[in-house]
Amino acid sequence: MATSKIVRIALDWTPNTNHTGMYVANANKWYEAAGLEVKFVVPTENSTPARMLAAGEVEIAIAPSESAISFATTDTKNTIAAVAAILQRSTSAICTLQSSGIASPKGLENKRYASYSGRFEDCIVQQMVKNDGGDGSKVQFHGLEGHGYGDDIQESSSVVATYLKTGKSDSTWIFKHWEGILAGTDTLNYFDLEHYKVPYGYSPVMLVMIPGTSSANDAAWLARFLEATARGYVFADAHPDEAARYVNLFVCGCMFGCGYMCGCWWVGGADVFCIRVLHHSNEQECMIRIIWPTTRLVCTITVFCSCSYQTLQMTLQLFLAG
């Protein structure tokens, strides 16, 4: 039996619905049928997906479209190309709280903007303000701690909740269909880039190295990967409820860089919580009785890692809506 091609994918953010098609394809073993062993890698604060790709740490990077532009204009040793868009259009936007009174980009003059410190990010925001008739140089940019996903922000689940609603900033850049929903309906103003004449285009996109996918063998595995992935997204479009259950396996718990997935669900009413950790063919479950009221659940679970042939103890921390 031929050895499967290992394909490591650096996600652009924490696991979320943008990645649904890949989770569906993986759960239904369509990648396996294509001779691929796919591993999802959650980015760290120390490296972006594109940099992980350039360093040879992954085969595919999910990243903003401007990551490809950035490498094309600064890195002469590494050529990165976008091979697919995972969304039909950009679903991100600059946002403010409706209660802030900032109703358009022009209103960001002399206001704070919580930045992820992307190479083009601040310039994009400045141009939006200019296109709206304002002075982009007057926007007060400041960085997000840990790119906005440190422990304190994970607890509140959103940069909006941690920065905007606490008064640490006045605006930021979010995915409308993810953090916008977490923030609650009718609480945010959205400033779409295209509406203010910034042709942002598709984002996020799938990036690969060139060379690195130029040989016949490399082109073959990439074609198989894209075919299986497309099948996953078509399935998700036709069966959204079932696809959401696959996403839930990743999102409700956590995912580890070694290929671990953690799924969580209630059993026995509203006081017993089941946590299952999966690693390839190995799995381990533990049942925890919840004593209400609580919002944080911390437990330790032991699982055998078939990559390192070690038994690992993992401490999982989850935040419950109770």
14-73 confidence digits (pLDDT tens): 777 889 999 899 888 899 999 999 988 877 667 788 888 988 899 999 998 888 888 888
Calculate mean pLDDT across residues 247-265.
50
Calculate mean pLDDT across residues 158-168.
87
Please tell me the predicted confidence (pLDDT) of residue 322: 41
Q: How far is CA 137 from the centre of its chain?
A: 30
Is residue 153 pLDDT above 50, yes or no? Answer: no
Above pLDDT 90, what percent of the chain? 36
Q: What separation, in Å, do the N-terminal and C-terminal C-alpha atoms of the chain show?
A: 49
The highest-confidence range among 2-11, 15-24, 202-211, 229-238, by mean pLDDT, is: 229-238
Pairing of strands 5-10, 36-41: parallel
Please tell me the predicted confidence (pLDDT) of residue 69: 85
When pLDDT is cut at 50, 70 and 90, the band that residue 285 belongs to is low
**This prediction's pTM:** 0.72
Helix-then-strand count for the chain, H and E? 10, 16
Between CA 295 and CA 292 the distance in angstroms is 8
Q: Which helix (H) or strand (E) element contains residue 274? A: strand 272-279
Please tell me the predicted confidence (pLDDT) of residue 99: 95
